[in-house]
Amino acid sequence: MPPERSPRELLQGQLAASLPHAPDLVLVTDLDGTLLGGSDPWRRRFYGWLQAERQRVLHVFCTGRDLASVARLLREERELGLGSPHLVIGDVGSTVACGHTLEPLPLATDPIEARWAGLPERLLPLLARIPGIAAQPVTAQRRLAYLIDPAELDHDQLAEIEAHGVDCLVSDNRYLDVLPAGVNKGSTLLDLLDWLEVDHACVVTAGDTLNDLAMFETGLQSVMVGNAEAGLLAALPRLPRTYRARGHGCEGIVEGLHHFGFGHLFEAVF
């Protein structure tokens, strides 16, 4: 009987490309406002550095975007030099995919799918009766995605929705995501790091909106970029391992990496 494969081996077997074996840094970045934020010169330099250091820096997109949106983004940002990450956590934590092919990884997504089964059918009629929300035109998986009108939305009604076994996450005062209870960017990231068997000391996360709060609450080293939304800034006092950067977007990520002692990876680039 063949020996049982480790989660890392199972994950690697589901990927189309190999991962760095012992990365010096695992960089986990939100997209909009974070990896996509900052001036074009900063973005070009940072994207070029990420591509040059693929064997030392394991890069993970951690985003609210669905996989189709990530694919469009990679095409649109090619001119600035943004390449595929090694891995993607999408749909606010409810999808994990290979960065090269954007194919979902069953090891990560199957358990979330099981928790999501039956919930949309139960919740969609209830959500349709709540004023101030409108369905987003996205192909979201294992979540329901809405745009909100803050002036009309009654948050007490969202609490009633959560009683059905989901979490309702409002971010940037514009978006509402309905997710299986306990599933978010942070919980999925921690599972992924366990499967990868990486030292948490080499992990840094970065984000700018409230759907990134769950990453910061993991206790991992984290960077709150300078253009972070007010709701996320309000949480900073209870996030002792989160660095508040002055720079926006990519500049803020670099500033945070220097703060956490990863400046040696940049050499003369920044």
Domain boundaries 113-180, corresponding CATH code: 3.90.1070.10
Average pLDDT, the chain: 93
pLDDT tens-digit readout, 165-184: 999 999 888 899 999 999 99
Q: Rounded CA gap, 216 and 208, in Å?
A: 11
Give residue 14's pLDDT band: very low, low, confident or very high (50, 70, 90): confident
Q: Above 80 in pLDDT, residue 16?
A: no
Q: Above 90 in pLDDT, residue 137?
A: no
Give residue 141's pLDDT band: very low, low, confident or very high (50, 70, 90): confident
pLDDT tens-digit readout, 90-132: 999 999 999 999 999 999 999 999 999 999 999 999 999 999 9
pLDDT, mean of residues 191-215: 96
Q: Above 70 in pLDDT, residue 75?
A: yes
Give the pLDDT score at 18.
Answer: 77
**More confident site: 7 or 39:** 39
3-state secondary structure the chain: CCCCCCHHHHHHHHCCCCCCCCCCEEEEECHHHHHCCCCHHHHHHHHHHHHHCCCCEEEEEECCCCHHHHHHHHHHCHHHCCCCCCEEEEHHHCEEEECCCCCECHHHHHHHHHHHCCHHHHHHHHHCCCCCEEECCCCCCCCEEEEECCCCCCHHHHHHHHCCCEEEEEECCCEEEEEECCCCHHHHHHHHHHHHCCCHHHEEEEECCHHHHHHHCCCCEEEECCCCCHHHHCCHHHCCCEEECCCCHHHHHHHHHHHCCCHHHCCCCC
Lowest-pLDDT range of 54-58, 135-139, 141-145: 135-139
Q: Cβ(29)–Cβ(87) under 8 Å?
A: no
* Percent of the chain whose predicted confidence (pLDDT) is above 90: 84
Give the pLDDT score at 17.
Answer: 66
Give the pLDDT score at 155.
Answer: 87
Exposed/middle/buried for residue 201 (C-beta within 10 Å: 0-12, 13-18, 19+): exposed
- CATH 3.90.1070.10 positions along the chain are 113-180
pLDDT, mean of residues 9-27: 82
pLDDT, mean of residues 248-269: 93
pLDDT, mean of residues 230-256: 97
Q: Above 70 in pLDDT, residue 2?
A: no
Residues 6 or more apart in contact with residue 160 via CB below 8 angstroms: 126
Q: Above 80 in pLDDT, residue 257?
A: yes
pLDDT, mean of residues 63-89: 96
Q: What is the reported pTM?
A: 0.93
pLDDT, mean of residues 10-29: 84
Q: Which CATH superfamily is domain 7-112+183-265 in?
A: HAD superfamily/HAD-like (3.40.50.1000)
- CATH 3.40.50.1000 positions along the chain are 7-112+183-265
